[in-house]
Amino acid sequence: MENNYKYDVFISYRRNGGSERAELLKLILEKYGYNHSRIFMDTHSIESCNFKQKIKEAICFSKDFLLIITKGCFDSVKEEDYWIFEIKEALSLGKRIIPIFFDGIESIDSKKLPEELTAISEINGIIYHPQYADAFYIKLLSFINPSFTNIEKTQRSNKNLLLALICFITKVSHTLNWAITDGLKVVNL
């Protein structure tokens, strides 16, 4: 996580249908080590102030812009929607936008978008499937922090090495008539 930004991520969602998903993403990020104060989500990060100005500043000082896409989120879009304002602001600032697709959606139909937002229909995103939640979390974290993939691979490699070592010790213990008890404690029989 970089310290050049006030926030690691800005979570953008349409209130109707997106609030629960936004809360889920925030909890996932916190579970995987992101500090809650470095995750911008309007309902948690804004106190009494000029709402639009605070949103603008938060987008400016965020590393990544997570765009939650839910069923019907682009239906009846109005120019004055804060959600549309957030997306336009992220595009104008050249922020890295990461679409997160829910409700079986796998892409954004550019025909449903106002012309100034059509660029988001070209951005690669992440599809959430509840039955593959762990894979989704890993992919999300690797999009936000590419070094996470390397950390996760290293941890998996270390687990595999430990399992191989345990198998080897078990095999040797049978040959030498030793037993492994209490984890890796080896005792002579």
Task: Return the active site residues.
Answer: 86
163 vs 143: CA distance, rounded Å: 29
CA nearest to 62, candidates 25, 85, 94, 30: 94
Give 87's contacts (C-beta < 8 A, 6+ positions apart): 12, 67, 97, 117, 120
Instruction: Give me the half-sphere count of Cα atoms (radius 13 Å) on the Cβ side of residue 58.
Output: 27
Query: Cα–chain-centroid distance for residue 102?
Result: 13
39 vs 37: CA distance, rounded Å: 6
Give 157's contacts (C-beta < 8 A, 6+ positions apart): none
